[in-house]
Amino acid sequence: MNVRIAVDLFGGDSGSSVCLPGCINALKRDKNLKITALVSRLIDVTRFKKIDRLEYAYADSVVDMDENPLKVMRSKKNSTMGHGLGLVKDSVADAFLTAGNTGALIALGHCILGAENKKQRSAIMTTLPSKSRDVYLLDSGANADCSPEMLHQFACYAAQYIGMSKNPSVGLLNIGHEASKGNSLVRDAAKLIQSDKTLNFFGFVEPQDVFNGQVDIVVCDGFSGNVFLKTVEATSEYVMHKQIKLFDKSFVARFMMSYLKAAIQKLKQRYSRSKYTYGVVLGLNGQVYKAHGSVKQSVFTESILHIASHIRQSKTI
Query: What pLDDT is attached to residue 295?
Result: 85
Query: What pLDDT is attached to residue 296?
Result: 86
Q: Which domains does the chain have, with CATH numbers?
A: 1-114+284-317 (3.40.718.10), 125-276 (3.40.718.10)
Query: What pLDDT is attached to residue 100?
Result: 92
Sign of CA dihedral 129, 132, 134, 138: negative
Q: CA distances (Å), 283 to each of 19, 93, 169, 206, 300, in order?
A: 25, 18, 20, 26, 23
Sign of CA dihedral 10, 12, 16, 21: negative
Per-residue tens of pLDDT for the chain, all 317 residues: 899 999 999 988 888 889 999 999 999 999 999 999 999 887 776 767 778 999 999 999 999 999 999 999 999 999 999 999 999 999 999 999 999 999 999 999 999 999 887 778 899 999 998 888 889 999 999 999 999 999 999 999 999 998 878 899 999 999 999 999 999 999 999 999 999 999 999 999 999 999 999 999 999 999 999 999 989 888 877 877 777 676 666 666 666 666 666 666 666 655 554 556 789 999 999 999 999 888 888 889 999 999 999 899 887 76
For the chain, the residue count is: 317
Give 39's strand partners.
58
Query: What pLDDT is attached to residue 85?
Result: 97
Contact 128, 311 (CB under 8 A): no
Report d(CA 112, CA 106) in Å as an integer.
Answer: 10
3-state secondary structure of 127: strand
Give 55's strand partners.
36
Supply φ then ψ for residue 128, to 5 degrees.
-125, 150
**Any idea what DSSP says for residue 120?**
S
Contact 172, 203 (CB under 8 A): yes
Cβ of 55: how many Cβ atoms within 10 Å? 10
Report d(CA 259, CA 257) in Å as an integer.
Answer: 5
Query: What pLDDT is attached to residue 41?
Result: 84
* Whether this model's pTM surpasses 0.95: no
Label the pairing between strands 135-138 and 123-128: antiparallel
Cβ of 295: how many Cβ atoms within 10 Å? 22
| First-to-final CA distance of the chain | 13
